[in-house]
Structure 1
Amino acid sequence: GSKGGLEWVQADPNYLWYTPFGQPKQLITRNGAGALPVAGRVSRVPPGHPEGYLEGFANIYQEAARAIRAARRKGGKPAKDVVFPTVQDGVEGMAFIEACVKSSKKNGAWTKL
């Protein structure tokens, strides 16, 4: 337009580039600095988190509830078709993170898990 330009990409929806005519580009993030106050009313998660953040946790909670209901119906036997992270998944994730830190301290050397 005559006062500047806007750039938005659907594949990267949390960022809006605003370029006032004759000035540098400015990045406006969803509910971040530079956004209007109304952005806070329609954003469900804090700045820096993608909109799918809440849905990810909702899926975990829903699957955990399914597992609990199935165990109650089947006398304590867990359902086989539920999808949520287990304690073992958490242990393996922490081992991976520790290996990454060790590798980083050794200038990126391969580190056994």
Structure 2
Amino acid sequence: MKEADIIDALKDSMHQSQADVSLSIGDDGAIIDLDDDKQMVTVTDAITVDVHYPAGIEAEAIGYRSLAVNLSDMAAMGGVAKWANLVFSIPSINPDWIKGFIKGFSEIANQNNICLIGGDTLRGA
């Protein structure tokens, strides 16, 4: 099953719609109409080993890339990022790996004046 097939299945199963959603599911983001002719763009793009980066790549590069792909999606939709949520799953806690990941993520966040506002961390494959 391809990503587009999964998205179509989700669309078919959901019966709710919102008039204030200009662009909905089907891309890595959505555009929501706010008051006063303003819009909010929200994006979510996950990355995973052997698909978005090679096994063995430094944690710092993974941290950087995890935000970079989302900033790219935001820009592609005409938005300017202000905030980010960070969700990541790792098989085991390695303090040095975590420090490297944080360094890479923080570098690009600080370069782009992004405020980390939430997220989740968990152990998993």
Q: TM-score, normalised by structure 2?
A: 0.21
Higher strand residue share: 2
Q: TM-score, normalised by structure 1?
A: 0.22
Task: From the CA coordinates, give the structure whose radius of gyration is larger.
Answer: 1
